[in-house]
Amino acid sequence: MSETKRSWENRLSGHPDELAADFVQSLSYDRRLYKYDIVGSIAHAGMLAKRKLISKEEFEQIKQGLIEIGQQIDAGRFKFDKKLEDIHMAVEAALIEKVGEPGRKLHTGRSRNDQVAADIRLWMRDEIEILQAKITILQKAFVALAEKYADNIMPAYTHLQRAQPVCIAGYLLSFVEMLSRDWIRLKNCRTLLNISPLGSGAAAGSTLELDRKSTCEDLGFSDITYNSLDAVSDRDFCAEFIFDCSLLGAHLSRLAEDFIIFSTNEFDFIRIDDKYCTGSSMMPQKRNPDMLELMRGKTGSLYGALMAMLTILKAQPSTYNRDLQEDKIHVFQAADVAGQIVDMAAAIINNTVFNTAKIEAGMDAGFLDATAMAEYLVMKGLPFRTAHGIVGSLVAICEKQQKSLSQLELTELQKHCNLVGQDVYEVLGARNIVAAYKTKGSAGFSEAAEQIKYWKKRLAEQ
Ligand code: ARG
């Protein structure tokens, strides 16, 4: 390419300062938008032709030129010149070089301000679909693992203290629920962002008779924006997208935390395949869950991106300001990190084994059946508060005698409550309880089986 001239060089004198050129450019990262920039420009040029602002032949030349530039970039044969600042100017300059005069007409009725706003929306639309597909794959991995452990039990913890016995499938399906909300949030985000700012120009629109509906339809947007001043600076969807990624990260960081704890020697509930562990350069015995730790850690980068995006938006004067250029750094970062952690979570879920025998053998510890025993007394006619007190005293006795509730003799139990009968022993014990849960959405065997059926059907359609 010959010495490139920036579009405003007639107005501003002097050579650009190297430091300033480096500082102001976004080409190093916004080249990622090139496909969207090109389809957006083709739609814009098509509209200009329909409105007779350019001729049909000029449109054909512009279109062909842009397609070729796209192919050059695809093939890594495009020379990105940072002096051109951003992908919009790089593509336009290349077009002018390629097709001459018609290329100089492409930017009619357009500013980089409405152009970049459209490009990010187009990019994000696709990116959301990619992320949603990854989430679905992860959900399916959870359901498959849940199916494998539909007849096994584990303790549920609150405050990381033993709480109640649950079906392992029920535990795994809790993540499917979280991910389903993430999926829906992203879908809503996509619906809201899918409107066309093209035609808003730099800030106030154009005196030319542009047909905004035509570019909107060509690009598959559902509507146009209705206030040009807002449209050139609206980045709400960027903040929302990063928020959705952040919450997704929060969910997966909780999974990571659980699995890190479950894979310690102390717990030994699960074994994560060697492929997803690392060793130590010094301690020969180590098997560290670094992938999970990074899933947890990378969530921090998502929160960082969210905070950066919100801060960029804060207190900007109305309409476009160059601050907005920074938006792309953070939406790209969020999309990449979110995609990575979802992929990694799916790989780990596909390669994790629960030590069911070990878990089941330890189910007597921690009085997991205390709540079920209190409910047994309720069924015998006691007010729950009274039942809670009685079982609390029994637990204290058991603790002293190092026994579980089911190891207490019937006579001992009856000393505390004469309503207790022999049938109490059918109620106690983790397995009996998990089989007895009745409420919709509970973590019992029957409900987990129902939920597995439900998710299989729903995810097949998702
Ligand atoms: N590279 C810029 C961005 O990403 C494009 C818009 C620049 N507009 C301007 N008037 N300086 O936001």
d(CA 394, CA 412): 9
Q: Given a cut of 80, is residue 413 above it in pLDDT?
A: yes
**Contact residues for 226 (Cβ-Cβ < 8 A; gap 6+):** none
If one residue of 6, 116, 124, 327 were mutated to test the ligand 1 pocket, choosing by the most ligand atoms within 8 A of its CB, it would be 116
Q: Cα(332)–Cα(407) distance, rounded to whole angstroms?
A: 58
User: What CATH superfamily classification does 370-461 receive?
Assistant: Fumarase/aspartase (C-terminal domain) (1.10.40.30)
pLDDT at 6: 75
Q: Which two three-digit tokens encode residue 65?
A: 């030129």
- Rounded distance between C-alpha atoms, residue 239 and residue 158, angstroms: 33
Confidence of residue 17 (pLDDT cuts 50, 70, 90): confident
**Can 416 be counted among the known catalytic residues?**
no
Whether the predicted pLDDT of 30 surpasses 90: yes
Q: Indicate the angle between helix axes 112-148 and 34-50, nearest 10 degrees.
A: 130
* pLDDT exceeds cutoff 50 at 424: yes
185-237 pLDDT per residue, tens: 999 999 999 999 999 999 999 999 999 999 999 999 999 999 999 999 999 99
Distance CA 155, CA 366 (A): 9
Q: Is the pLDDT of residue 257 over 60?
A: yes
Alpha carbon distance 196, 216 (integer Å): 5
Which tokens go with 164? 């109640």
Mean pLDDT value of segment 149-166: 97
Check pocket membership of 324 for ligand 1, CB cut-off 6 A.
yes
- Vertex 105: Cα angle to 100 and 108 (nearest 5): 160
pLDDT at 350 over 80: yes
Q: Is the CB of 263 under 6 A from ligand 1?
A: no
From 325, 326, 329, 332, mutation site for ligand 1 pocket: most ligand atoms within 8 A of C-beta: 325
d(C-alpha 174, C-alpha 196), whole Å = 38
Q: 234 CB under 6 A from ligand 1?
A: no
Mean pLDDT, the chain, rounded, equals 96
Q: Which fold has domain 113-156+166-193+223-361?
A: Fumarase C; Chain A, domain 2 (1.20.200)
4 confidence band (pLDDT: 50, 70, 90): low
- Band (pLDDT 50/70/90 cuts) for residue 2 is very low
Burial zone of 32 (CB within 10 Å; 0-12 exposed, 13-18 middle, 19+ buried): middle
Report d(CA 84, CA 206) in Å as an integer. Answer: 24
Question: Cβ-count burial of 69 within 10 angstroms (0-12 exposed, 13-18 middle, 19+ buried)?
Answer: buried
Q: Is the CB of 114 under 6 A from ligand 1?
A: no
The CA distance from 36 to 116, in Å, is 9
Catalytic residue among 222, 280, 318, 393: 280
Domain boundaries defined on the chain: 9-108, 113-156+166-193+223-361, 370-461
- Please give the CATH number for the structural domain made up of 9-108: 1.10.275.10
- Detail the DSSP E strand segments found in 296-434: 352-354
State in Å: Cα 326 to ligand 1 middle: 10
**Spatial CB neighbours of 327, under 8 Å, sequence gap ≥ 6:** 120, 235, 238, 309, 312
Q: Which one has a higher pLDDT value, 236 or 4?
A: 236
What pLDDT is attached to residue 3?
Answer: 55
Predicted pLDDT of residue 15: 72
Mean pLDDT of 170-180: 98
Distance 28 CA to ligand 1 centre (A): 14
* pLDDT band with cut points at 50, 70 and 90 for residue 9: confident
* C-alpha closest to that of 461 among 158, 200, 140, 208: 140
Structure tokens at 4: 């490139």
Closest Cα to atom 12, ligand 1: which residue?
325
CB burial class (10 A; 0-12, 13-18, 19+) of residue 68?
middle
Instruction: Reply yes or no on whether the pLDDT at 41 is more than 90.
Output: yes
In the predicted structure, residue 242 carries a pLDDT above the cut 60: yes
What is residue 262's predicted lDDT score, i.e. its pLDDT? 98
> How many whole angstroms separate alpha carbon 348 and alpha carbon 23?
41
Mean pLDDT (whole number) for 282-304 = 95
Among residues of the chain, what percentage have pLDDT more than 90?
Answer: 93
The β-bridge relationship of strands 153-158 and 161-167 is antiparallel
Distance CA(98)–CA(278), nearest Å, equals: 52
Region 16-27: mean pLDDT is: 91
- Give the pLDDT mean for 446-451: 97
Is 454 within 8 Å of 147 (Cβ atoms)? no
Residue 1: per-residue pLDDT: 43
What pLDDT does residue 14 have? 64
Residue 215 Cβ inside 6 Å of ligand 1? The answer reads no
The pick from 8, 12, 112, 228 for probing ligand 1's pocket by mutation, whose C-beta has the most ligand atoms within 8 angstroms, reads 112
Q: State pLDDT tens for residues 81-130.
A: 999 999 999 999 999 999 999 999 999 999 999 999 999 999 999 999 99
pLDDT band at 8 (very low <50, low <70, confident <90, very high): confident
Nearest-CA residue for atom 4 of ligand 1:
325
Amino acid letter at 424?
Answer: V
159 is catalytic: yes
